[in-house]
A = this chain, B = another copy of it.
């Protein structure tokens, strides 16, 4: 990313960032990502190429910014005061909402970009990494039988497997059913039964 997202954006920058990310999402619902090129993006939203390169390194960078924008609602972290399995379910629910609220976008994208392609993968990877960060922060203090990172990796992977199953492989599943699947996959209490942790019953 050429543009520094941390500094406060001017009105112009706001407008430009929005235009490019919206354009990318529109185009993704029209054709495969590999067939989209920078010229096309610029024509679509009537910005010169130079402007594109003021903000982004390349189209991969832009698409990554799109994921950043989409995942904004998911990123909010009150966290901390919840226990591991509550946190996992909370994050799952947020993703569930995200996909439910953007179902047209998702189905558009899936129509032209195959499920296991690098585009869809880059999105699920983005979300998995988000989950990973959040869980690591929360689980970090606890003691498990095996390294925390492994648990955290598996939790984030499992959540995204479920989300993919429901919304990308399109197997409609209610939230309750999904919670049940989650519980089974994460071994109900078994994985989360810490050896003899600090806060066994609170």
Structural contact, B121 and A150, CB atoms closer than 8 A: no
The copy count of this chain in the complex is 2
Structural contact, A149 and B121, CB atoms closer than 8 A: no
A153-191 residues with Cβ-Cβ distance < 8 A to B are 153-154, 157-158, 161-162, 164-165, 169, 171, 180-181, 184-188, 190-191
Min CB–CB distance A7 → chain B (angstroms): 25
Structural contact, A184 and B147, CB atoms closer than 8 A: no
Q: Which residues of B contact A129 (CB under 8 A)?
A: 116
Min CB–CB distance A63 → chain B (angstroms): 12
A116-B129, A162-B150, A165-B147 are contacts. A187–B181 as well, Cβ < 8 Å? no
Min CB–CB distance A136 → chain B (angstroms): 13
A187-B190, A190-B188, A191-B185 are contacts. A154–B158 as well, Cβ < 8 Å? yes
Min CB–CB distance A191 → chain B (angstroms): 6
